[in-house]
Amino acid sequence: MSKVLFIKASPLPNEVSRSSQVAATFIDEYKAKNPSDTVEELVLYNTEVPLLDLELMTAGRELQAGKAFTDLAPDVQKRLNAYNALTEQFLAADKYVFVFPLWNLGIPPLLKAYVDTFVIAGKSFRYTEHGPEALLKGKKAILIHGSGGIYSAGPTSSFTHGEPYLRTILQFIGIDVVPSIFVEGIDHNPSKEAEIVAAAKAVAHESAAEF
């Protein structure tokens, strides 16, 4: 039995977000094929995702120097607890499904803040004399990525820092990232929206059966 963490990184409701609609198809098919697995949904825009800022970095250094957690300010303790809870939730999963849009050729800022909660030295990777070593080997992820233009291939593929970044950072910590599902090009061809979404859902259906 596997634990699947379904991470939604769009503030839009499913009826508006085409990539979220495709992700719902993937999750429904996965549950049908793997009824004994558990799927936990994490909607980032409905979640407190603490920003890794000066306050948290200072608290981390103080704890490493021997300061007791209870001696930190109450609001800092609350933020660290929320941060650590996201870390532990991520580490406890076996598989990951990310659905996210392309914003200004990158990922949404809240998704980047979330990445910082699980890409942590000593938890998901470690430094060695031979370089960084991944600690989450044996886990698997799939990315479901929406964009108005087409960036998965062709002349604009080098412009995007969305799907390539998330794929790279997950591989850095040892996670096997299977082929992504792209929901793209609708802003270029609005008349083909239904066709594009249907094609992506068909890919999601097939991918879920093998995930």
36 annotated binding-site participant:
no
Over residues 128-166, the pLDDT tens digits come to 999 999 999 999 999 999 999 999 988 888 999 999 999
Quickly state the pLDDT bin for 8 (edges 50, 70, 90): very high
18 annotated binding-site participant:
yes
What pLDDT does residue 90 have?
Answer: 98
Three-state DSSP state, 176: strand
Over residues 158-199, the pLDDT tens digits come to 999 999 999 999 999 999 999 999 999 999 999 999 999 999
What Å distances lie between residue 1 and 31, 35, 36, 37, 147, CA to CA? Answer: 12, 9, 6, 5, 33
Domain borders along the chain are 1-208
Fold of 1-208: Rossmann fold (3.40.50)
What pLDDT does residue 131 have?
Answer: 94
147 annotated binding-site participant:
no
What pLDDT does residue 112 have?
Answer: 97
Whether the pTM exceeds 0.85: the reply is: yes
What pLDDT does residue 31 have?
Answer: 97
61 annotated binding-site participant:
no
What pLDDT does residue 179 have?
Answer: 96
One-character DSSP codes across 113-153: HHHHHH--BTTTEEEETTEEEES-TT-EEEEEEEESS--SS
Asked if residues 18 and 197 have their Cβ atoms less than 8 Å apart, the reply is: yes
Buried b (16+ CB within 10 A) or exposed e, 37-57: eebeebebeeeebbebeebbe
Over residues 46-69, the pLDDT tens digits come to 999 999 999 999 999 999 999 999
Region 95-110: mean pLDDT is 97
